Structure 1
Amino acid sequence: MSDNLPTLRESLEAHGLLAKKSFGQHFLLDLNVTRKIVRYAGPFEGRAVIEVGPGPGGLTRALLEADAGPVVLVEKDPRFIPLLSELDDGSGRLKIVEGDALKVKEADLVEGPAHLVSNLPYNVGTALLIKWLTGPWTPCALTLMFQKEVAERVVAGPGDEAYGRLAVISQAVCTARIVMHLPAAAFTPPPKVASAVVHLVPHAERPDAGTLKRLERVTAAAFGQRRKMLRSSLKQLGGATLCDEAGIEPDARAEVIDLAGFLRLADALEAREAKA
């Protein structure tokens, strides 16, 4: 990547670009911060990286400086395509895809193992994470920035206030930890909330697609009425009987059930439905 590039702020001004609230855009313009995020995400050892919502390209610049192979950008906002194109040094290493990350097929964008590294748009961050956790394509690792509240929901454990569906599904598929916190002042324009970066590494063995779908159903019911006992919140799926079959106390509430317990509930649901 050229050392003669204008600063991110200069690039935004030159193209007359402002963040769009409708796209949940908040720009991270400090290259020292983006380089630190990329260090947490690596090493890449020449593997491809997909970045969603690159905006002005702060993370992109750091990725191009690192040991990543092809860097594939998925940008929904067409205003940023010319600006991002200025980062292309002609080597073929940078690929820019204009599209909606919720709809693209990642396996069509890269060959072989790949990483995901993104400062996710706030309004679709959770939906994108669920897509990557439960979909057919599995990255080597995911290093993703969320609102702090969402990040805490990803890594929470039983009994934590933030513990819920997102924690169970994330941890069924990956190990997850928060590696970095960022204040609102780090962004332009500053959001109303702080942010955090989560690093997720998929388990060598993960639940199959059917188990994940049942896990989503069980957790949706259990946490949808989290103050109720499981005998009540899971009533439509089997209630107390389902709990007994999974070795779970029917009078317990969702917030105290660990990942293993929810997986047993998903397996018990499969067995019940197989008999039906």
Structure 2
Amino acid sequence: MSDDTPPLTDAPARKSLGQHFLFDPSILKRAATAAGSPKGRTVIEVGPGPGGLTRAILNEGSSKLIAVETDPRFSQALLEWPEAKTGQMTVIAKDARKVHWEKALAEADAEGPAMIIANLPYNVGTILLIDWLKAGDWRGEMALMFQKEVAERICAKPDTDAYGRLAVLTQAVTRPHIAFTLPPGAFRPPPKVDSAVAVLTPLPPAERFEHIALLEQIAGAAFGQRRKMLRAALKPFAKKRGMKAEQWLEDCGIDPTARAETLTQAQFRILAASLA
């Protein structure tokens, strides 16, 4: 198949699955290479739909592509591609939230770390990202299409409106940036908001924070009541652990009257490490 391969099917996007499709070859190539060249690499793609990004990834030389598609209209069509028949592409007809990723890589006889390149369905993108952030060494670079607002939250810095739990978690294990943005008109059907490709590059092992699940709990509690001072926002969390929030914060060198959006990545790590 060539760059101008037609869509797999004219089946319309399903709103219930958060589907918005891209067909512009230049945009698809940018998305396929945003996190670096996939040549010779294993790539996971979620929600390939009619296969535009799938074709772009294969054209860039991916050695193994694992395509996860819950919509049978598209998963069945993908199985007819030559790459599926030769084993270069593995199609998993399943909800991505239910995929055991390491098992899928092993069954596909794929080498890691795997890149994840995807125009994510809007309704599951954040859920999948958090799952991947907790992944082991099988997961490599990620180039993920989100609503622009979500991409900004991923890359946000302290003392900004977009800064929250998602930024703290993402930046604990990766270095994220927005590669490019797209207007609604780039998609079919057009969504109601702008979109953006966020690239997440894994931090070197020595710089990654290992207690990501604990960090998630603390950040969730802190930002769950972001208008409150930390001593109040974290009071229920601390109480469940037999602690006094104010004393815990002081012991960690953090001002109990500060608010969650002012804490740095390092300070959140200190809080989590104190409980690990």
Normalising by structure 1, report the TM-score: 0.91
Matched, 1:269 2:266: no
Matched, 1:102 2:102: no
- The aligned counterpart of 1:246 is 252
Assess if the C-alpha contact under 8 Å between 1:106 and 1:137 holds in 2: no
- The aligned counterpart of 1:159 is 159
Assess if the C-alpha contact under 8 Å between 1:19 and 1:189 holds in 2: yes
- The aligned counterpart of 2:241 is none
Q: Which digits, 9 at most, give the CA deviation of each residue in 1:203-253, with x for residues without a partner?
A: 122222xx2121111111100000000010011213111111111010000
Q: Which digits, 9 at most, give the CA deviation of each residue in 1:31-77, with x for residues without a partner?
A: 21101111213223411101000000010000110021111100011
Matched, 1:26 2:20: yes
Shift of 1:103: 1.2
Counterparts of 2:102 and 2:41, CA distance in 1: 14
CA RMSD of aligned residues (A): 1.5
Q: SS of the counterpart of 1:102?
A: helix
CA change 1:68–1:4 in 2 (3 A) is: closer
The number of aligned residues is 262
Shift of 1:94: 1.2
Matched, 1:12 2:9: yes
Fraction of identical pairs, as percent:
46
CA change 1:218–1:152 in 2 (3 A) is: same
Counterparts of 2:273 and 2:87, CA distance in 1: 47
Shift of 1:135: 3.4
Shift of 1:267: 1.6
Counterparts of 1:177 and 1:144, CA distance in 2: 11
- The aligned counterpart of 1:118 is 118
Matched, 1:47 2:41: yes
Q: SS of the counterpart of 1:140?
A: strand
Matched, 1:213 2:213: yes
Assess if the C-alpha contact under 8 Å between 2:18 and 2:121 holds in 1: yes
Assess if the C-alpha contact under 8 Å between 2:3 and 2:56 holds in 1: no
Shift of 1:78: 0.8
Shifted more, 181-190 versus 100-109: the winner is: 100-109
Amino acid at match of 1:207: F
Q: Following superposition, which runs of at least 4 residues in structure 1 exceed 4 angstroms of deviation?
A: none
Counterparts of 1:27 and 1:4, CA distance in 2: 16
Counterparts of 2:2 and 2:156, CA distance in 1: 41
Shift of 1:112: 2.4
Amino acid at match of 2:183: P
Assess if the C-alpha contact under 8 Å between 1:107 and 1:137 holds in 2: no
Counterparts of 2:56 and 2:5, CA distance in 1: 14
Shifted more, 187-196 versus 212-221: the winner is: 212-221
Assess if the C-alpha contact under 8 Å between 1:242 and 1:269 holds in 2: no
Shift of 1:178: 0.3
Unaligned runs of 5+ in 2: 239-243
Unaligned runs of 5+ in 1: 271-276
- The aligned counterpart of 1:273 is none
Q: SS of the counterpart of 1:199?
A: strand
Residues 76-225 of structure 1 mapped to structure 2, 5 A cutoff? 76-89=70-83, 90-110=85-105, 111-113=110-112, 114-136=114-136, 138-205=138-205, 206-208=208-210, 211-225=211-225
Shift of 1:88: 2.4
Shift of 1:176: 0.3
